[in-house]
Structure 1
Amino acid sequence: MSANQPSIGEMMAATVPMARTLRLEFGETTPGHAVVRLPDQSEYHNHVGGPHAGAMFTLAESASGAVVLAAFGDQLSRAVPLAVRAEIGYRKLAMGAVTATARLGRPAADVIAQLDAGERPEFPVEVTITRQDGAVTGEMTITWTLRPKD
């Protein structure tokens, strides 16, 4: 990104109201992975005092969106990225701040080749959610597509 262009995190905060609402913090974002943090906020706690499952889902989905934007931002003039489906597994109790790390599940070049061939490619993004001690509290797979514009 140049000094005049907003970061992926700034773009996400500007265009995704839930990212602003949860005050998500966007860290390192590359075409291969993205790191997003959900600060500990009592207004988004569940009945046991940790982040609500819905907040964790939004964290993971937002991290996946950040990596998709980093990988395919140059394709936005001809395709719209859309989440198709998602599956999340909650592994351990999450307490305090949690961090989602998203990884693109297919080479971006393969996805773009399908788009170039006139297809509507689908590709997975794998997300791991960890708490501050490094323990994995959740894992999510989001399948995305690039829907060609008419």
Structure 2
Amino acid sequence: MSFDAGALLLQTVPFARTLGITFDHAADGRAACRLPDRADLHNHVAGPHAGALFTLAESASGAAMLSALGDQLSRAVPLATTATVHYRKLAMGEVVAEGRMLVSRDEVIAELDAGRRPEFDVAVDISNADGVVVCSLTVTWTLRPNRT
């Protein structure tokens, strides 16, 4: 892609900016972003709130998807349709989400070219500063073709 998928996501999703999410990279169907350790984002046990973790993971999934399919925005709108969340361990401190598309760009575009609305998964792991996975998500995305 010739654009910055992380920057595009932060531009179009103000809530991600509100949380202070930043992107380390987004390219080739993969993305990594981080959530700062801020008291106003904490839950009752002083770790990042589940809603903040979800937003971080959804942001990583969206940037991963955009990094592979952003050039299709003129013909389809990306929408998250479902998400499955597994909170594995108490998250503390700054956390990093890493997302990766589980299908190829070519598979998704073939569905669009055939006149179908593709649905595909993006897997995300959130890790703490020690590299321990504290949360895993699978976000299902669709590309809704634009009406002509």
In structure 1, the residue matched to 2:85 is 88
Q: Does 1:133 align with 2:130?
A: yes
TM-score after normalising by structure 2: 0.96
Classify the secondary structure of the residue corresponding to 2:110.
helix
> What CA deviation, in whole Å up to 9, does each residue of 1:37-69 have, x standing for no partner?
001011000011000000000000000010111
Distance in 1 of aligned mates of 2:15 and 2:23: 13
How far apart are residue 32 of structure 1 and its match?
2.1
In structure 2, the residue matched to 1:117 is 114
TM-score after normalising by structure 1: 0.95
C-alpha RMSD over aligned residues:
1.1
How far apart are residue 10 of structure 1 and its match?
2.0
> What CA deviation, in whole Å up to 9, does each residue of 1:87-115 have, x standing for no partner?
10000110000000000010110110010
**Structure 2 counterparts to residues 26-65 of structure 1, below 5 A:** 26-65=23-62
Q: Which amino acid aligns with 1:14?
A: Q
In structure 2, runs of 5+ residues without a counterpart are none
Q: Give the counterpart of 1:103 among 100, 110, 117.
A: 100
Distance in 2 of aligned mates of 1:18 and 1:128: 20
Q: Does 1:12 align with 2:9?
A: yes
In structure 1, runs of 5+ residues without a counterpart are none
Distance in 2 of aligned mates of 1:31 and 1:86: 22
Distance in 2 of aligned mates of 1:133 and 1:35: 16
Q: Which amino acid aligns with 2:76?
A: A
Deviating 4+ runs (over 4 angstroms): none
Distance in 2 of aligned mates of 1:19 and 1:118: 32
* % identical equivalent positions: 58
Query: For this pair of structures, how many residues does the alignment match?
Result: 147
